[in-house]
Chains A and B, each alone.
Chain A
């Protein structure tokens, strides 16, 4: 079916199958930042924002984003770049496979929580798995980024 939606501020028409997942539809449209790291909705790599809310694109049927605002990391490139520099400086990025989904969640948290405590940061990010970093570098980077932002 055809749906009208907005991706990163641009109105577009998407042709999607009834059972197509948003992650597949976005990748087919060239948004290659969307990664699929699991089959069980538990890694967070596919996180995009739907109407500003961080959401698993691997668990969302594509037709359901009709008339919604989708944001991928390509749509928040400048903020993502700023945070990515802090990540690199803290040695918190290794293979980088988890980074787009992780960064989208961190930026969503920044919008949603005011001055989060360390516990709140950890809780907000439990849905983003990273097989490389061991999380401590990521936590340092987030605190530095929020403190300095």
Chain B
């Protein structure tokens, strides 16, 4: 169990950021479901609850999701059910249970870049940007690929467009961590194939996505893109599944994802 010497409930993000850099063990609190599993000795716990970051808004062409928004809010949000064939609600809906999803937060999940993350896989298949308090706004893909100085994730922005999408995951049992997560999407004949929980973090299969975008989408094209995704990404083994098993499943799920998107309205 983690320990907390002192709690700070900042009234501004600047105050939170200064506190985060005040001591190496100062830590931002999300929902704390993950933090409580560890034994971190936190000098100052920075609680963002007072900063009004728990919301989903749709100003104009984007959806804006505050860092303290819970998975349950994502799961039950009416607009998110309509957009992108509901991939965001679908991606979080099998994580433990309702009362858990009322605790865990979007900001902590994205910032932590967990390999097993269902949400990250779905977000990466959409046109998503993250906002870091100091680091500013940048594409999620860039955020996942590079390392950045310690910061606070404040918001996510997702372009509200006609992207069609599908989300697939595979688990040993319904509420276990996933063995593999797949999201596939298409907008204006440009496809995105994303594979996560390999068990490495979600990554765009760029060659496979490009090949599919330039194809006639025949059964062979789909088969070939799925094979390309397996070839270009690396897979590892853990207690949930071997690399070989993940590769075999990846091919199946990518094909399934593409077929599902083709049938999306």
Q: Are B99 and A64 closer than 8 Å at their CB atoms?
A: no
Tell me whether B5 and A59 are in contact (CB under 8 A). Answer: no
B33 touches A59 (CB 8 A): yes
Which chain A residue lies CB-closest to B70? A53
Contact B37 A44 (CB under 8 A): no
Interface set, chain A 32-61, CB cutoff 8 A to B: 39-42, 44, 47, 50, 53-56, 58-61
Interface presence of B170 (CB below 8 A) = no
- B108 to chain A minimum Cβ distance, whole angstroms, is 12
* A42 and B7 form a contact (CB under 8 A): no
Q: Shortest CB–CB separation between residue A89 and chain B, in angstroms? A: 25
Interface assignment of A137: CB less than 8 Å from any CB of chain B: no
Counting chain B residues whose Cβ lies within 8 A of the other chain, the interface size class is: 20 to 34
Minimum CB–CB distance from B248 to chain A (whole Å) comes to 27
Please indicate the chain B residues that have their CB under 8 angstroms from the CB of A18 in the complex. Answer: 4-7, 45
Task: Give the CA-CA distance A64 to B7 in the complex, in Å.
Answer: 11
- Judged by a CB distance under 8 angstroms, whether B3 is at the interface is yes
Instruction: Say whether B13 faces chain A, with CB atoms less than 8 Å apart.
Output: no
B100 touches A21 (CB 8 A): no
With A18-B4, A60-B32, A63-B7 as known contacts, state yes or no: A126 contacts B99, CB within 8 Å: no
A128 interface residue (CB < 8 Å to B): yes
Q: Is A124 an interface residue (CB 8 A)?
A: yes
- Residues of B contacting A: mostly: mixed
Say which residue of B45, B49, B175 sits within 8 Å of A126 (CB atoms): B175
Q: Which one of B90-98, B153-161, B183-191 is at the interface? A: B90-98
Q: A18-B45, A59-B32, A126-B174 are in contact. Are A41 and B5 (CB under 8 A)?
A: no
Which residues of chain A in 102-144 are interfacial with respect to chain B, using CB atoms and an 8 Å cutoff? 105, 108-109, 123-128
A135 to chain B, nearest CB (A): 12
Q: How far is the CA of A92 from the CA of B42 in the complex (A)?
A: 43
Give the number of A-B contacts (CB < 8 Å): 79
Cα–Cα distance between A131 and B103 once the two chains are bound (Å):
24
Assembled-state Cα–Cα distance A26/B242 (Å): 43
CA separation between A61 and B35, bound complex, in Å?
Answer: 11
For A39, what are the chain B residues with a Cβ–Cβ distance below 8 Å?
37
- Judge whether B21 is part of the interface by a CB distance below 8 angstroms: no
A contacts with B: majority SS: mixed
CA distance A127 to B71 in the complex (A): 14
- Chain B proximity of A15: nearest CB distance (Å): 14
* Residues of B with C-beta under 8 A to A56: 33, 99-100, 102-103
Cα–Cα, bound, A105→B100 (Å): 12
Contacts of B96 in A (CB 8 A): 41-42, 126-127
Q: When A18-B45, A61-B29, A64-B47 are in contact, do A128 and B5 touch as well, CB less than 8 Å?
A: no
Complex-state Cα separation, A18 to B37, whole angstroms: 16
Q: Which residue of A lies closest to B6 (CB)?
A: A18
CB of B240 within 8 Å of the partner chain: no
State the Cβ distance, A101 to closest chain B Cβ, in Å.
8
* Chain B residues with CB below 8 A from A124, complex form: 98
Check B93 against A123 for contact (C-beta < 8 Å): yes
A1 at the interface (CB under 8 A from B): yes
| A18-B7, A59-B32, A59-B36 known; A42-B175 Cβ under 8 A | yes
Name 8 interchain pairs, CB-CB below 8 A, sorted by A: A21-B36, A40-B37, A53-B102, A56-B102, A59-B36, A60-B103, A64-B49, A123-B93
**Chain B interface (Cβ within 8 Å of chain A)?**
1-7, 29, 31-33, 36-37, 42, 45, 47, 49, 72, 93-94, 96-100, 102-103, 174-175
Q: Give me the interface of A with B, judged by CB distance under 8 Å.
A: 1, 18-19, 21, 39-42, 44, 47, 50, 53-56, 58-61, 63-64, 105, 108-109, 123-128
Known: A126-B174, A127-B98. 17 other contacts (CB 8 A): A18-B5, A41-B33, A41-B103, A42-B100, A42-B175, A44-B97, A53-B72, A54-B102, A55-B99, A56-B33, A59-B31, A59-B32, A60-B32, A63-B7, A105-B99, A123-B93, A127-B96
